[in-house]
Amino acid sequence: MGALEFLSSLQKKVGETNTPVEKGLMYVDTWINEKPTKSTMVDSGATHNFITEAEAKRLNLRWEKDAGRMKAVNSAALPIIGLVKQTMIRLGDGVAS
């Protein structure tokens, strides 16, 4: 289970009141393999995290080739460069792998 997928399953405690949340995008400081990376936009329903090939090279990540494609809304499908597995990622003060 990915870290962001796990975050989306958190439950409110009984008797807890709703706190108004500021609208807009949420960004967190991110470290990959103990190296700081650019702020990451959080999608609480995501099962995967995406970074650019240049950022993966800067972080010395090793990836496996992948033949898949990824498509965002209103854009053409682009090839996936590869998959990085078994990598430590830390979002804000938390740690997940």
The answer to whether the beta carbons of residues 47 and 9 sit under 8 Å apart is no
Helix locations, the chain, DSSP H: 3-7, 53-58
pTM above 0.75, yes or no: no
Contact (Cβ atoms closer than 8 angstroms) between residue 5 and residue 47: yes
Q: Tell me the C-alpha distance between 44 and 51, whole Å.
A: 17
Angle (CA) 17 92 82, round 5°: 120
Q: For the residues of 61-88, what is the DSSP string, one character each? A: ---EE---EE--TTS--EE--EE--S--
Q: Along the 97 residues of the chain, how does pLDDT read in single tens digits?
A: 444 444 444 555 666 666 666 666 777 788 888 888 876 777 667 677 778 888 888 888 888 888 888 888 898 998 888 888 888 877 776 555 5
